[in-house]
Amino acid sequence: MRFRRGAQLDSSQVSDRRGMGPVALGGGGIVGVIALVIYLLGGGGGGGGESGAPSAIDLGQGGSDLSAECQTGDDANQRQDCRIVGVVNSVQAFWTESADNYQQAKTVFFTEATSTGCGNATSAVGPFYCPLDRTIYIDLGFYEQLRTKFGAQGGPFAEAYVIAHEYGHHVQNLLGVLDRARDGQTGPGSNAVKVELMADCLAGMWAQGAVETGFIEELTDDDIRDGLDAAAAVGDDRIQEKVQGRVDPEAWTHGSAEERQGAFRSGYTATSLDNCNSFA
């Protein structure tokens, strides 16, 4: 995946909380690998029940100046954080053109832990979208975990797939379908799985139109393979096999590796949002 060198990045769409000092969570943080499995690329909030601010946060003077460091597509080709800024810009440009009345959502970079509109969250939850504040949260260290813990090949487009999936949840929220995943049901036919597969399909739709947004110069077949590989790596069956040594379809909340790849492929060839409606 290569960005147009002269493309002008809009860093205002991303808030950088990295390096803001230690964060003490007041009982609302989600920790441990089980939380990661449950929330990985998920559609819900990252909080553990608290809706207010954490009991103790030392914000310090951390965070980088993305507006100074991530200005052009050339910066995106050289730095990971600038690359994600470019992906966010491209995804939002695509949905502004493709979805009626699209409203932009912010992405927040953080390290270790942060406070969100859905409560306190730690890096253990993986990337997530909080519908209450319409914000995507990600610790960029997750991408290394995606490769080392879940066996994905990685690569720039694998990273982009993760962001596009989360923005898919934002589109679902605007469409009024995201809440269907909150009925507590699990399994291959559950609403939770349908919501996640729809988000994968929406990520595929963006990939199909990414070059036309003006930020990305080229997507190769290898890039798409990296995205499909990442989608498979976070399939319920793959994660269950790694964590518990067996596959239990009735506990699925995101879909199998094959289903997630299939949903992304469907979006990549879709002609309208209706093609991604897994509830139809």
Residue 132 has pLDDT above 60, yes or no: yes
Q: What is the tens place of the pLDDT at every residue in 23-61? A: 444 433 333 333 333 344 544 433 333 333 333 333 333
The mean pLDDT value of the chain amounts to 87
DSSP 107-172: EEE-SSEEEETTEEEEGGG-SEEETTTTEEEE-TTHHHHHHHTT-----HHHHHHHHHHHHHHHHH
Predicted TM-score (pTM) above 0.85: yes
The residues near 53 (Cβ < 8 Å, ≥ 6 apart) are 115
pLDDT at 231 over 60: yes
Q: Which band of pLDDT confidence, cut at 50, 70 and 90, is reported for residue 84?
A: very high
Separate counts of helices (H) and strands (E) for the chain? 10, 10
Tens of pLDDT, residues 148-198: 988 999 999 999 999 999 999 999 999 999 999 999 999 999 999 999 999
At residue 190, the 3 state secondary structure works out as coil
Helix 80-98 to helix 191-209 angle (10° resolution) is: 100
Note the pLDDT of residue 64.
65
- pLDDT at residue 202 above 50? yes
Do residues 159 and 83 touch, judged by C-beta distance below 8 A? yes
pLDDT for 88 = 98
